[in-house]
Structures are given as structure tokens and as C-alpha cells.
Amino acid sequence: MVRRAGLRLGLILCAGFAAVSQAQQPGFECRPLTCSTLIPALPVDDPHTNDCAYRAGNLWWVDYVAGSLAWNPPAAAGGDHEPVTVAIFDDGAYVDHEDLRGQLWTNEAEAHGKPGVDDDHNGYVDDLHGWNFVDNTPDVSPPEACRGQVSHGTLMASLVAARRNNGVGIAAPGSDGARLMIVRIVGCGAGRNDPLNPERLVRALDYATRMGARILSFSNHWYATTPELDRAFAEVADKPGSPRAALVVASVPNKGEPEAGYPAAYPYRRIIRAIPIGNDDMISPGTSPAPIGLNLGAPSACVIGAAAPPGHYRVEQGSSNSTAILAGVLAGIWATPPYAKLTPDEFVAAVVRKRMLRTPRRSKPGSRPPYVHGVPLADACLLATSERTARVCRGQELSGKRLNELQRNTSGRDARQDPRKGR
Ligand SMILES: [Ca+2]
Ligand SMILES: [Ca+2]
Ligand SMILES: [Ca+2]
């Protein structure tokens, strides 16, 4: 008999409750929302992006990770992105939300096929944008019974790749580079009454990687596992050259849990952990110890994202946000020429290890191991050029020392993949 693992999601409400109420109104006003010492932040890096919350300075976290550099570069600088499919493992997502429509991964065989027929013979009938593994249906939105409850997955999907330049709501680092595959693995309200089912998760991992997801975003964690689940994650996140290889972006909880939980706790080569960063570049108090490895800091506090359809938004804080933002940054970079051609292992080696982990941007030192030296902060600054940069990157790409370091890091095979070349 398979043991059932307890699933806990790192979702907590923002202290700025007034801002939450305001933001939940459809078409919320384009004015700064005060929620932490970090927002609002004006001016913005990209004044041409017209999404309401960005123009109002509420998307401080997009510019914190230099997210605008991962947006479509001008054609003269390398052309369009090749989208990276990011699978959102959560309680589903309201795919009819104004900021998610048009951002979804689409199974073309089903889109051009016949209703009621498994057109691509993958074992799932009419799986257009993912699969609902809870109810075993192609409808990945939370069902009617969940209406009125917060959809954690909707928020996460928007922080990865909300629709940009539609004049409403938010934008995200992966807006142009990522496409969202919705993989519903827990029930209403982020599964509080529906613990993670390991067999279901094994099937969901199989589906997402078989259908081409290159980044699997887990803004959740669990403390019990099974041999089958361990094997499935090892195949995806560790086995060299696996045809099922993908990056797993895993949350590290910040509510005082003594351990990070899975999948962050796996010591696998393709697990990238999001360390929650709060105000003033500090690691969120109560962040669990993470294994040594690919650990990158990303914003957690006072982040606005999509809520109920058709156009509601809410402000949240928590390590879940960090995970989705990191997944969006990675997708945005990976989608950019010439990184788009890299395999998962090549991307980890050339981008994550050689560039992102070596950034001079670091969090403040944490008070306890393993964070006493701080952690590198996730950003897209490696895409900066002399023509196009972001405020947080300044002083990095223009420094001779930094340039020398980058040149050393991108010698040999990686020199061909340096986006500075040819731009
Ligand atoms: Ca199918
Ligand atoms: Ca069909
Ligand atoms: Ca938008």
C-alpha cells in the first residue's frame, strides 16, 4: 500500500490587508498599493510595458529580478523567443483569467483534433492545456465546488507568465518566454483537504515531461515520500541524459519548518531551490535549511498576482511566490536566443552554475546555516547588454572585472552561447 504524503503549501496572506481588498476588485485602480517597504517602485525598467500594476510601480519584484531583460528583445537583438513550457503543479488554474488566456501551453494535436477523441494517443482525451489529475478530466480550472476559494495555482501561473502588454493586471519575467502547462495534482484551496497522492504525482510527472515541459514548478512541499516517487523524481531531475530530463524549481518553506521537505530536499542535479527574500534583501526569517546546491534567492513578500476570473487580483507573501518568480526568470532566460538550444543539463551548467550562482548580487547574510554568507539573488542580468539593461544589473556588466569573469565563465563551448555575441 502506498503511503500518502502530507502536502503543505507555503501560502500566507500579506500583512497589508487593505491592499488585498483593493486588489481583489476587478480592474483595480492603477495606483500604487502600499504593502511593504519594498513597493511601490518607480520609475520602472521598461516604460513601454503597459500593464496596470507595472505602470503603477507595484511589480517591484519584476525589476528586482531584472525581469524586463527576459521580455522579447528587439528583433535586431536576436529576434523572438522560443517558448519554454513551464508545468505548474498545483490546484489547477483559472485559464479564463484575463492575464492567463493566451499564455497557455497548447497540445496542438488536441487543438486541431476531435472532441472526445485522444488525438495524439497519449492516453488523455482532449488534454488541451494540461490535465486535471484530481478529477481525471481535461478541465484544469478548479471545479465549480472550488469557486470562492483561493486558487493557489492561478496565482503561481500568473507570477510565472502573466500576459504582458494587455493593459491590465500584471506582467511577469516569463510573460514572453514561458508557456503554462497546468497540472492539477491537489484539490480545492491548494489541497488542504486533499493530501498529495504519490501515485497521482508520478503520473503527473510522467505526463508533463512526456509532453515537453522543460521546467516543473513546485510551490509546495511534502515530508513523506515513496520509492516510486523518488524514482520518478530521480529520472526527471537527476539521471544524466534522460529523455525525461527537466528542471525542477522547488520551494523552500519559510514558516519555521525544521526541514525543507520534498522536492527541495532531493540532492539532485536539476533541482533549483527558491530561497524566499523579504524586505531589504534579507532571507525571510523562518526559512528552512536547504541542501547545498542550486539555491537562488527570489522575492517572497507582497507580490500581486491573478486570483479569480475574469479579472481579480490579490497580494500575497510567501515562499510560493519566490518559486514561481524563479521559474519565470529561468524560463525567460532559457527562451532567449541562443540559450533556447540548450538541453536541461547544458542550461544548468552554462547558465545556472556558471552565471547565476556567481552573481555579485547576494542577499544579506542569514543568521544561521546554511545562510550565514547569504545566497545569490536570482535575476536575468546575464541578458544585459550595453544597449539594454536593468537598474539592478548596473555596475555588473559595465565593470571590467565582471566582464573578465564572464569571459572566463563562457570560454570554450559556452562562448558560442553568450548572448552578448552578435548583439
Ligand atoms: Ca491526448
Ligand atoms: Ca480530442
Ligand atoms: Ca497583464
pLDDT tens, position by position, 318-369 = 999 999 999 999 999 999 988 999 999 999 999 999 999 999 999 999 988 9
pLDDT, residue 72, reads 86
Report the SS3 class of residue 179.
Answer: strand
Mean pLDDT over residues 39-57, rounded?
A: 87
How far is the centre of ligand 2, averaged over its atoms, from the C-alpha of 290 (Å)?
43
Mean pLDDT over residues 284-300, rounded?
A: 95
Query: Which of 38, 35, 74, 30 shows the shortest CA–CA distance to 392?
Result: 38
Q: How confident is the model at residue 267 (pLDDT cuts 50, 70, 90)?
A: very high
Q: Bigger pLDDT: 5 or 88?
A: 88
- Length of the chain equals 423
Q: What is the mean pLDDT of the chain?
A: 85
pLDDT, residue 74, reads 57
As a whole number of angstroms, the distance between CA 340 and CA 387 comes to 21
Ligand nearest to C-alpha 55? 3
How far is the centre of ligand 1, averaged over its atoms, from the C-alpha of 182 (Å)?
14
pLDDT in tens, 143-152: 998 888 889 9
Ligand nearest to C-alpha 170? 3
Ligand nearest to C-alpha 117? 2
How far is the centre of ligand 3, averaged over its atoms, from the C-alpha of 341 (Å)?
28
Contact 327, 217 (CB under 8 A): yes
For 101-219, where are the alpha helices, taking DSSP H only?
A: 108-111, 152-161, 188-191, 198-210
pLDDT in tens, 214-235: 999 999 889 889 999 999 999 9
Mean pLDDT over residues 146-159, rounded?
A: 93
Q: Bigger pLDDT: 403 or 370?
A: 370
How far is the centre of ligand 2, averaged over its atoms, from the C-alpha of 28 (Å)?
37
Mean pLDDT over residues 89-102, rounded?
A: 96
Residue 16 has pLDDT above 70, yes or no: no
As a whole number of angstroms, the distance between CA 59 and CA 157 comes to 16
Q: Which residues of 354-377 are buried (b: 16+ CB within 10 A; e: fewer)?
A: bbbbebebebeebeeeebeebbbb
Residues less than 5 Å from ion ligand 3, measured at CB:
51, 99, 163, 166, 169
96: Cα within 13 Å, side-chain hemisphere = 7
Residue 417 has pLDDT above 60, yes or no: no
Ligand nearest to C-alpha 110? 2
How far is the centre of ligand 1, averaged over its atoms, from the C-alpha of 210 (Å)?
12
pLDDT, residue 367, reads 87
User: Distances from the Cα of 180 to the Cαs of 84, 101, 117, 154, 173, in angstroms?
Assistant: 9, 10, 23, 11, 13
How far is the centre of ligand 2, averaged over its atoms, from the C-alpha of 107 (Å)?
10
